[in-house]
Structure formats: structure tokens, C-alpha cells
Structure 1
């Protein structure tokens, strides 16, 4: 690729980034947008009444002047502040960016500082014009390892940098794993008593031998026999499709009544009480909706009375025990001689439960996961030709083959158009094409039947990373059809490193433009919250005039962001030595991401659940996979470049990486998979000594009652929709909310 194409992409994305950051710095100061950019604070501090629009906003020129004060406010809070306000998961999410910044700073100094001049000053491409013509190499390829002469001693510098990068990754990953493990242990030791600490999810409950007994009777009998001291109570899962729809209708009616009550009686247009408002006496819409509310409530009460019938039960239950120690033993042991019966695991947090998935029988889960995997592979296969077609735009010679000569001569020959098509358009189209894929994978992960939203997000994240690494990177690098690629891997497995070494350098420029398009412009677009901003504007000026948007409580998009971050880690590792020019672009992306997401975590995103940092082991494992892939590539790269001794000397690296990974798994992974008896006994002893044990047990006894059985609150004095994700107390850093 020529420099002009890269400069075009850099100019467009840098311009968009500056524009979006400028708009954000102005929009965040506006009174009308406080519900978009300070949602957490407004909801938690109950400032809703101050921002109903009853007061007119005072115009100020200062509010129209862009400023960067928000950056300082985002960076000021310590990790402890974020831990208190947003939890361990949010801290782990930000630690991923910290790891990436530290690691790629080292890579940039070592690889870019040393290898870029070394590559550029060699003469391989100049001495071999036929090869350059054949592959259409441009100016930027002189900065890559392609420009190193065959058998050159300069390759030993690349070899040394490979070892430096590998051992730097080991050191930083170990530091992060150790730090996050410490955070998790501290969280488990210091967190207030929570229902999930005392509760076990029991699945595949067998049919009672006595047909007159229910699943609930069977659970009670089993745990009284085998856990007589620890067993406290249980809650069954029920088929609740109809009552769930009634509860949703009830919430909508409560919200509608709440909104109507905010209006003066003179502004509430009377409606007829008959069907669809076509006949009957005129009544106040509040009274009309209150009548509907009472009717729906009566239907819900009738359904709840029927739930106790045997036919409504699902063979899944939440069992609450009297101590954390008892929950640990119950959740982490096999309960029956048949391992497919009485299957136990730790219960998710009550707010993390996907109740519709709880109704899925345990014996269906295996088949559902097969179906989900097949559909995910099918989606990857469907996307492959589309992605391949988009990446044809990266080379104008390929594009010209499929277009009429008139367009080629009159359009693509214009320098500005050719720069735009080759330098920016492919990355933009690819980013747009992938926008909906994370949501599709989340849906596929949900149909697998996982009981918690957090588990579903982790599975969706895994699927998305596989698509990015396998489809966008590996398949596009190797080119050809899927059949050709599979033949390469099956017929000549020993030639895989060499094939990768030949193909990877040719795609460096495309991935640089993709990083700029997705990262440089994507991060400012994330902080701008354009979709929510437009929705807020529409609602304030139409159906909810003069009222800020506070009903849209968002949580961190783990399954969207983490796969892309890890994909960029893969690109950085592979290309750090092949094409070190990519490193400064990555470093800018991770720095922007850290600043932007600190701001979002503090002001916008409300935690929907807390897993105690269980994302990190998966992040660690995928990073290890990326490191191994990089090392395998360079076994082939040095062989391809005629330095077989360096290629042989690289062979121990993948084994060293595997040994390091195994050490981390043995040292740290059990902390994330199991709860230890030592800590649980200590906390139980503290509860006993304080005399709060009975109070705690009474408070958690009904935490896992099925939502369809819970008491229905008809209070419409406040919008309950905005209260669902908000815990009672958390530490916050005071923002500069415009009032």
C-alpha cells in the first residue's frame, strides 16, 4: 500500500474522532442531555424531579465551548473508587486496557524503534523488482520484514525482539492475573452477605417415586435427608410464560400512569371507556389506565394461585442453606450416584438470572449447545465470502477486474477516489458489516440455555472472537475458498507456518486501516452515545416533551468490546515484528479506549451483575493463544527468509508459553472456579459472633422466589423501571452534572 492511501484513512478517522469528541464535550454540558451522559448519578441520587423540564435552561455561551475537562475527571478516580462504585468486573474490564497499554508500549519501543529502521534500510524489494511487481507492494512494505534480504543477519534482531516480546507478555500477564486474583479474594472476603453466597442451583431433579408428590416435595425430602443441618429452604422454577407477559403489561401500565400523573389535569385529554375508545362515557385517562391495572393485577393473582399445582413446576430449583460453608460443599460436590441427577452449581446473583432459560430441562442443554455451535459456524461460513469480497477493495487491481472500463477510466483513476476506495472504504464496510454480529451471537448463546446473563455474555464473547480471529484474520490472510484453506491445514500441516509467513505481511496495511476505522473513530462514537442521544432528543420533543431520558439503564457491553480488544491484541502480536508500523496505531486505540471506558463506567454504565472478575481467565487464555500463534508464525517466517537456525531456536517458545499458561491455571484459576472453605468458614464465624446470622438468613430466604410469584407492587408514584439495577449504596465520584 502506498502512503497516500494510509494517510487518507488516517485523515478521515482522525477528523471524525476530533469531531465526535468535540460534540461530546459540548453535548455533555447541555441540561437536556444529562440523562444520556450522567445516567448513573441522576438515577442513584434521585435528581429526577430537578430535571423534569419545569425550569427553563439558562443559556450560556460557555456551554457551547468544547473543553477536555472530562478527560481529567475520567482519570482522577482511583481503582479503589471504581471498585466501590462499579464492582470487580468493571475494574477487570479496565485492567485489560491497562495491560494492553503497558504491553504495546514495550512493543512500540522495542519493535518499532529497532525494527522499522532496520527493515527500511534493507534493499530486498528494490533488488527484486519482479517480486515487487507480482505482489503489488507499495512504499509501506519497505517498513516490514518483507524488505529484509534472504538469509540476512539482520533477522537475528527480529529473533531477539520475538523473545523480548514473549517474555514481556509472560511477565505482564502474570502481574495482571495475580492482581485480579487478589481483587477477587478481597471482594469475596469483604462483600456484604449476598443471597448467592448461601444458594445453590439444583437442576435435573428426578421424578418423585410417589406420583402424588411434587418436585418441590422431592427437593425438600432429598435435602432434609442428605443435608439435614445446613438445609434452610428452596424455591422451585415454574412455567411462567403467560404470567410474565401479564407482568410486563402491568409494568407498562404503571409507567403510563406515572407519566400521565406528571401532566396537569387540563393537559390530559379524556377518553371514552369503551372498546378502543370508540364508545362509552368520557373518563380521565388516569382512571381508565388504573382500571386496566386492577384487571391485570387480578389476572396475575389468579395465575399465582395456580402455580402451586404440580403441572406448573420445572425440575430446577434454588436451594438456600444456612452457611456459606454449606453452600460451598453442596455446590461443588456430586449429589447422586447418577451424575445426571441432582446436578448442583453456584447460583447466579438474583439480578443475573435469565428466568426464561431456567425453565429449560437439563437434558435439553447438550443438544441446544450443539445447535448453537452449528449455527455459529454457519454464520461464520456465510460471512466469509462477504468479507472476502469487501477485502478485494483493498487492492484496486482486483476491483478493476470486475467493473466496466468506463467506471475504471473516469472514476477510479481520480486520485482522491482511488485513495478513498483503497484506504478507507474496505475497513468502513467491514466495521458496518460486523456491527450486528455480537447481538446475533448473544442470541445464540442464550438459546444454549445458560442460566445467567453473565455466562451468556462470556459465551457470546468467545464466539465473536472466534469469528474475528478465524474469519476476518486467518481466512482473509490465507485467501482462497474455505475448502482450499481446509485442504492446506489437512494435507500439509507442517507447511502451515510457512504459508502463514508468506501471507501475513501482505495484509498489514489493511489491518492498520481497520484499527483506525474501528478504534480511532469508534471510541469517540462510543462516548458520544449517538443512538441514545437521538432517542433522548426525540422523546423530549414528542411523546415525553421536556422530560429527560432516564429509563434506558445501560450496562457494560462486554460481549461487544472484549472480542474486538482481544482481536487487536492478536493483530499487535503477529504484526509487531512483521510490520511494526501497526504498533503506534494500536497504542493510540488502547489509550483512547481506557479514557473513554473509564468515563463510561463512572457516568453511564450501571452494573447489571457482578461475577467477581470471572472474565479474566478467558481473556488470559485467549491472549496465550495469540502469543502461541505469533510464535508459530515466526517459526515459518525465519525459515521462509532463509535463517533456519533462528527458526529452530523459536521451536521452544510455544512450549514455554504452554508451561507458563499451565502454571497460571494451577496457581490462579481455582480462585475463579471455586470458593474455598477457609474463607467461607471465617465469614460464617464472624456472622455467628456478631449475632446477625438469623437476620441474614431471614433477609435472603426469599431472594430466589420466582418473579411470577413475587408480591406485585401497584404503587405508581415513581417509575420502578429505573430502579431495577440500582443497589442501595455505592461510592461515586461527583460529576459536573449540568443543572
Structure 2
């Protein structure tokens, strides 16, 4: 590919970006689209302003860019939580490190690559992109010292910037733990693998076990039930309440009846009724017996202090590790209730099956990757398939096919990957929604790196030379030869999958189409699920990290890619800030636990860059530059171990020191009794009405602000399916 083909691809993508951004700035001003671009709460507020037509609504504007740019981390934290801050800090980190890399490599490395060999250079638009890469540097060149020096500067700058990000995000994580009102999850432990005894029910077994071994700290517990029959029982309980409300005049009776035994109420809460409702009491007794039959071998156990819950969640409870398995409970709105009923003994089978399925999906994707690489190597395909020669003679067609079409085809194939990985992560059995997204995020990231990067690199090598496996032992030399040869593809991939995808993210085409169908075709204006979603961390974070991986690998080998990456990250910072502030609704969060994924990906990118650079230096027969890369790899691995010991443990668990201080503070203020009362109704597995779950959960400040916007979209989708 030459510069003209690259400019053709850049021109097409810039045109798409300009059109999409202009359309977005117009569509967001239309009152009918407010539910798509401003969330449900803002949609209701804006709809009250009236639909008076003004010409200003038809004029594109950049006000959203200014507002997104001025938004502070505090505003992002208030709207999207700590996960949103971590995501945007990842983009800011990428901007900083690649600004350093672009400055060093474009001023120092790029001229050395261009004049690396004694050759007659053509007019720049007609130049091949290979002359701007390390491939153009002759063997045993002393200029390779500059490449090694640039590699050292980039690596040390990345580690230094990553250290400061670690410190800041760790502080935010601790503030997240201590800064909010008391969270029910701090006092709650999830227990699975409860052993079955014919004499006692699961509930009695939990009460006897924790009442005996945690007598001083055990408060109460709540069983987990299988969903099918329990929902019917909830409807029966609702009917009983309606019957009682007609006969009872005592207000405290009604308040007690609102708590069912599934949501933290007492198991025999119906015993407060008077003797005049004997039939109702018999009905409630039958419900209690049915509930016992539908109990799962899982329960939520509440403790009196945070520290007691932390100890119970980390201690081996039984001599049989498959019995009485304890974990820290998720937040009330983060619990994924369906997976709590999965027998604990099945989890390892599920994890093994999902990993095998992920590997199979990765292998099946080799076909589309090979097809995409065939579009990049038209000369080789024309030699093997002569019937293609007549159709590919036009130079403009060649520019479009080689410069734009491969990335578009690959991006279309990739749309099927996130739903499949989310399905695998659900089957795996996570106990929380955030854990499910984190698991899917890791799977998608591995898929992207191994298929989009290594798959395209190796498949392109196969198409160019069929003797790719002639030296199977020399993997480093193979990659060192193949990676620089695929520079052109990854430049166009950044343009297509990067710039264009951000424009599509702004437009929200699926939500816009759904909103149009509901309001103008179906004439249904009050659908709360239309156009409002939670932030897709499992798809967007892997994409950002993949571009970071590509940037690190090609920073020294092909510096020309860095300006395109910087444009992507700057645009991503504005787009995602706007989406978090206005579009997406956050109902639950993991408290910044996506950050270890960012750390691992960054270290992996650095080490892979150093290994590939060492291989390239070796192929160029520069033993000094290749030898000096080895200490850099060792230092990076040592730095990674330091971060894993110093920062990462904070994201895996809560510090005991912090929890004890919080317990002592609450005890001095006399708040523990109030917290204990709230725990009884904190977790509600089922609700007879859509809003009952939110009313029964004592939320922290972040969740209270989000509850006013919209209910959880995933819960809403499951309710709609159950209604059908």
C-alpha cells in the first residue's frame, strides 16, 4: 500500500466522522430524541419544555464538545461512578504516553527509517508505507541505537505514568469504600455449597452453623430460592396482603406485611395476624412450607460488623472445601440472582466449558481473518487466481479495496464476538453483574489481541510466503519479520474501527431506530426502555486497550501510526465523556475493579513490544541494540511484580484496617443498630411490581442519584421476556 491508498482510507473515514458528528449535533436537539441522547430522566424533563420548532435545531453545533471537555472527574464520578472514571483515566493515560511516543519517534525515528537505505525516493504520495518503517533500515546500521533509545524512553515513561495512575485510582478506590453511606454488601457474605441434611432445611442448617461458629457476630440470613414457583408464591402473598388490608386497621401490620420472607423479613412474619383470619394464616403456612421446598443451597448471611463479614468471606469454613463456600456478597443491585442457584460443584465444569468454547470461537475466526488479509495482498491473489486480474486493474478500486475494505469487513465480523463472550461469561456462573462484565471484558480483550493482531500478522505472512512454518522454532524471528509488514493494515484499522466507530457511538443508531419505531410507527411514547442502556465496558474497554497494544508495538517500528492513534484517543475522550454524562445510566458498579485489566494489558503491551523489537534488532544484525533490550524486559517484569504487590491487592478486596475504622466510627455514633435493621430488607430477590425492588433496597448516595433516572436495563429486558 502507498501513501495515496492510506490517504484515501483517511478521507473516507474523515468524511463519515464529519457527517455523523454533524447529524448527532442536530438530532440531539430534537425533543423526540431526548430519550436517546439524554437518558430517561432528562427525556421527561425536556419533553415538558414543549415541541416548539426553531431553526437552531437544524444547525450543527459544538456545544456538546465544550461541555464534555470541561467536565471534571467529580462530575464523571457522580454520573458514572468509579468505573467510568477508571475508563476515562485509561484513555487519558493513553493520550499522555502516546504523545511522548509520537514526539520522540516522529522527530527521531521516522527520519531514520525514511533515509535508512540509499535509494531513489519518489513523490511522497506515491511512496510505499514500508519506507517509513524499520524495514527500510539497512542491516548493521548504527542508527538502530536511536530505535533502542526511543524504546527505553517509551517504556520508562509508560511505567512512570502508570505508577501515578495507580496511586490516584487507588486513593479513589479507598474513598469509594469509605466515602459513601453504609453499604449492605460490607456486612453480607454469600454462602454456597450448603450441605443437605434430611432433618433440617437449608435455612435451619445456615442458622445452626453460623449461630454456633459465629455466635458473637452472626446477625441473620436470607435464603436464595429457585425463581419459578417463588414468583407464584409472591403473587399469592400479594393477594393475602390485599385480603388482610381490608380487615386490618393497624398500620404496623401493613408495614410488616410489606416485607416478605424472601426480602429479609422474618420467616413467620404472618404470625402477627389476629385469630379472626384463620384461613389466611393457613394459606401463609402453606407458602412457608413451599418456600422451604424451593430453597437453594445458597444464602446471604448478615453479620454485625464489616470486619466479621470480611473474615467469614476469606476463611475456609469446613474440612470439605466444596461445603460452606463463602464469598464477599455483591451490592444489592449488582447481584445476579440467576447464578446464585447454580450448584457450587458445577462451577469448575462451567468455567472449563466456557474456556474451551472461547478457544473454539477464536480458532473459527481464522477464516474471516484470512479473507481480510487476502484483500490486502491482491498481487498474490491475482497470481493464484487469474480470473481476478480483469476486475482489479482500476487504481481507484485497488485503493478502496486495499485501504478501506479490509478493515470494514473485519469490523463486521467482530460484531458477533461481544454477545458470544457475554453469553460464555453468563454460563460461567458469576455472582454479580459487574463480575460478568469483567469476565466478558477479559475474554474479548484476549480475543482481540490473538485474532486481530496475531491472527492478521501470521495470516498475512502465510499469504505472502507459504513457507511460514519452515522454521517453527524461531517464533520471535517470524513475528519480527511479519509485524512490520502489517503496518498498513493496522493503520487503516485504526481509521475504520477507531474513528468511524466513535462516530457511530455518538449517533446511537440502534437506540435511534428503536426510538423512531416506538414513537412514530407504534405511537407508543412512554416506553422507559427505549434508547437507554448501561455503559458497555465489556466492549469499549477491550477496544481501547487493543489500540493501546497496537500503538506500543508499532511506536518504534512504524511511528507513522501514532498521529492516527492520538486523534482516536482525543476523540474517544470527548465522545465517552459525553456518553457517560448524558446517555448511559449506571445502576451498579464494581468500584474500579476494571483497573487491574488495564494494568495487565499495559504491561503485556510493553513486554511484547520489547520482545518484538529485540527480534527486529536481531534480524537487522545489531547485536548491541538487541542485547540492550534484554535488561529493559527484566526491569519491566520487576516493575509489574512491584505493582502487583503494592496496588493490585486493593482492587481485589477491602482492607481490614479501613473496615475496622468504619465499624468503630459507626459504633461510636450509634448507627450499627440502624444498619442492622436496614440489612433485613436490603436484598430482594423477587418483586411483585417492577419498582418494588428499588423501593426495598437502601441505596448509597451514588445509587440513589441513579435510581431517579431509570431502572436497570438488563432487569427490564428480563421482565419483558417473562411477560411474553
TM-score of the aligned structures, taking structure 2 as reference length: 0.85
Superposition deviation, residue 618 in structure 1: 1.7
Alignment pair present for 1:171 and 2:160 = yes
2:704 to 720, 728, 736: 728
The CA deviation at 1:126 is 6.0
Alignment match, 2:484:
505
Change (3 A) 1:527 1:245: farther
Partner of residue 261, structure 2: none
Distance 1:725 1:541, change over 3 A: farther
Contact map agreement 1:41 1:603 (CA 8 A) in 2: no
- 1:636 is aligned to 615
Partner of 1:33: 33
Q: CA deviation at 1:731?
A: 12
2:368 is equivalent to residue 378 of structure 1:
no
Which one is further off, 303-312 or 318-327?
A: 303-312
Is the CA contact 2:145–2:625 (under 8 Å) kept in the aligned structure 1? yes
Name the counterpart of 1:668. 647
Please give the alpha-carbon distance, in whole angstroms, between the structure 2 residues aligned to 1:480 and 1:11. 25
CA distance in 1, matches of 2:13, 2:69: 24
Paired residue for 1:267? none
Map residues 68-83 of structure 1 onto 2, 5 A cutoff: 68-83=62-77
Q: In structure 2, how many angstroms separate the alpha carbons of the residues matched to 1:491 and 1:363? A: 45
- Equivalent residues of 2:81, 2:702 under 8 A apart: no
Contact 1:81 1:731 in 2 (8 A): no
**Deviation digits for residues 339-358 of structure 1 (CA, Å, limit 9, x no counterpart):** 22211111011211111111
Q: Do residues 239 (structure 1) and 199 (structure 2) align?
A: no
Q: Distance in 2 between matches of 1:245 and 1:433?
A: 43
Instruction: Say if 1:22 and 1:212 are closer, same or farther in 2 by CA, change over 3 A.
Output: same
- Cα deviation, residue 515, structure 1: 0.6
Q: Pick from 97, 108, 116: which aligns with 1:114?
A: 108
Contact in 2 for aligned 1:82/1:602 (Cα 8 Å)? yes
Specify the alignment match of 1:363 in structure 2. Answer: 345
Distance 1:662 1:726, change over 3 A: closer
Contact 2:588 2:703 in 1 (8 A): no
Whether 1:347 aligns to 2:329 is yes
Q: How does 1:381-400 map to 2 (within 5 A)?
A: 381-400=363-382
Q: What is the match of residue 658 of structure 2?
A: 679
Q: What's the CA shift for 1:702?
A: 2.4
Written as runs of structure 1 = structure 2, the 5 A alignment for 1:100-111 is 100-111=94-105
- The gaps in structure 1 that reach 5 residues or longer are 130-136, 249-297, 734-739
1:496 CA displacement: 2.0
Q: Distance in 2 between matches of 1:477 and 1:224?
A: 60
Q: Tell me, yes or no, if structure 1 residue 142 matches structure 2 residue 131.
A: yes
1:12/1:302 CA distance change after superposition, 3 Å? farther
Cα distance in 2 for residues equivalent to 1:413 and 1:536: 45
Pairs aligned (count):
657
User: What is residue 294 of structure 1 aligned with on the other side?
Assistant: none
Quick one: which of 413, 416, 420 aligns to 1:440? 420
2:198 is aligned with 1:219: no
CA distance in 2, matches of 1:90, 1:402: 50
Counterpart position of 1:568: 547
Residue 617 (structure 2) pairs with residue 648 (structure 1):
no
What are the equivalent positions in structure 2 for 1:177-576 lying under 5 Å apart?
Answer: 177-208=166-197, 211-243=198-230, 305=287, 308-401=290-383, 405=387, 408-409=389-390, 411-479=391-459, 492-493=472-473, 495-547=474-526, 551-576=530-555
Task: Provide the rounded CA distance (Å) in 2 between the counterparts of 1:384 and 1:397.
Answer: 21
CA drift at 1:14 = 0.4
Query: 1:304, CA displacement in angstroms?
Result: 9.5
Tell me which residue corresponds to 1:281. Answer: none
Residues 244/473 of structure 1: CA separation in 2 closer, same or farther (3 Å cut)? farther
1:98–1:594: 8 Å Cα contact kept in structure 2?
yes
Question: How many Å apart are 1:212 and its aligned residue?
Answer: 2.1
SS at match of 2:219: strand
User: Does the 8 A contact of 1:516 with 1:585 survive in 2?
Assistant: yes
| Maintained 8 Å contact 1:236/1:706 | no
Cα deviation, residue 125, structure 1: 6.6
Deviation at 1:573, TM superposition (A): 0.7
Q: Which residue of 1 aligns with 2:595?
A: 616
Q: 1:337 to 1:7 in 2, by over 3 A?
A: same
Residues 511 and 532 in structure 2, CA contact (< 8 A), matched pair in contact too: no
The question of whether the paired residues in 1 share the 8 Å contact of 2:189 and 2:328 is answered with yes
Q: For the Cα contact (< 8 Å) 2:82–2:172, is it kept in 1? A: yes
Aligned mates of 2:120, 2:691 — CA distance in 1: 79
Looking at structure 1, the residues matched to 484 and 639 of structure 2 have their Cα atoms a distance apart, in angstroms, of 28
Deviation at 1:670, TM superposition (A): 1.6
Residue aligned with 2:373, SS: helix
CA contact (8 A) 1:195 1:349 kept: yes
Q: Which residue, 686, 690, 701 being the options, matches 2:669? A: 690
Secondary structure of 1:479's counterpart equals: helix
Match of 1:627 in 2: 606
Q: In structure 2, the residue corresponding to 1:202 is in which secondary structure?
A: strand
Aligned partner (choices 44, 51, 54) of residue 47 of structure 2? 51
Using a 3 Å threshold, how does the CA distance of structure 1 residues 616 and 375 change in structure 2: closer, same or farther?
same
Distance 1:619 1:241, change over 3 A: farther
Is the 8 Å Cα contact of residues 99 and 172 (structure 1) preserved in structure 2? yes
- What displacement does 1:370 show? 0.7
Q: 1:519 to 1:681 in 2, by over 3 A?
A: same
Contact preservation (8 Å) 2:5, 2:400 = yes
Which residue does 1:5 correspond to in 2? 5
Unaligned runs of 5+ in 2: 236-279, 710-724
Contact 2:181–2:701 (8 Å) recurs in 1: no
Distance 1:377 1:546 in 2: 44
3-state SS of paired residue (2:489): helix
TM-score between both structures, scaled by the size of structure 1: 0.83
Deviation at 1:479, TM superposition (A): 2.5
Quote the RMSD (CA, aligned, Å): 3.2
Q: Quick one: distance in 2 between partners of 1:197 and 1:637?
A: 51
Further displaced range: 693-702 or 663-672: 693-702
Question: Deviations for 1:614-655, whole angstroms, at most 9, x for unmatched residues?
Answer: 110121012111111111111111110010121111112221
**Residue equivalent to 1:604:** 583
Deviation for aligned residue 1:199: 0.5
Of 141, 153, 156, 1:152 maps to 141
Q: Give the whole-Å Cα distance in 2 for the aligned partners of 1:389 and 1:593.
A: 29
